Amino acid sequence: MTSAVARLYALTLAIVAFFVAWATVAAHPWAAPAQPAPDPRIAALAARQAQVQVESLRVKKIVDARWATYRKALAARHQAAATQPVPRAAPSVRVVTLPPLVVTRTS
């Protein structure tokens, strides 16, 4: 290799190959990716979610029991209203007659 251009190309190729090899080794492609430490906020959020879910089941049972009681009472009221006759009251209308309007001028 007596040509200066060929030596320059060979040197450039060697430097590029060196940096590519260096980047490959520095990246550790054969190592498993590091697992980040679990966030304590996410663990607290999961615990709160479980707590709210249990509480919501308790509330649902209470609400269902109250609705059942309400439906029974409503059915009893409808049955009692159906058996009693509806009293018809006389209309409470009062007719008022006013004296005629008298306009007087004061000016």
**DSSP character at residue 47:** H
Asked whether residue 105 is assigned to any structural domain, the reply reads no
| 85 CB-contact burial (10 Å; exposed 0-12 / middle 13-18 / buried 19+) | exposed
Q: Per the structure, how many domains does the chain have?
A: 1
Asked whether residue 90 is assigned to any structural domain, the reply reads no
Task: Determine the structural domain holding residue 58 and report its residue range.
Answer: 4-28+39-78
Asked whether residue 69 is assigned to any structural domain, the reply reads yes
Do residues 40 and 47 lie in contact, with contact meaning Cβ atoms separated by under 8 Å? no
Alpha helix positions (H), the chain? 4-27, 40-83
pTM: 0.44
Nearest to 17 by CA among 29, 5, 25: 25
Asked whether residue 22 is assigned to any structural domain, the reply reads yes
Query: pLDDT tens for residues 43-54?
Result: 999 999 999 999
Asked whether residue 21 is assigned to any structural domain, the reply reads yes
Query: pLDDT tens for residues 12-43?
Result: 999 999 999 999 888 877 777 777 888 999 99
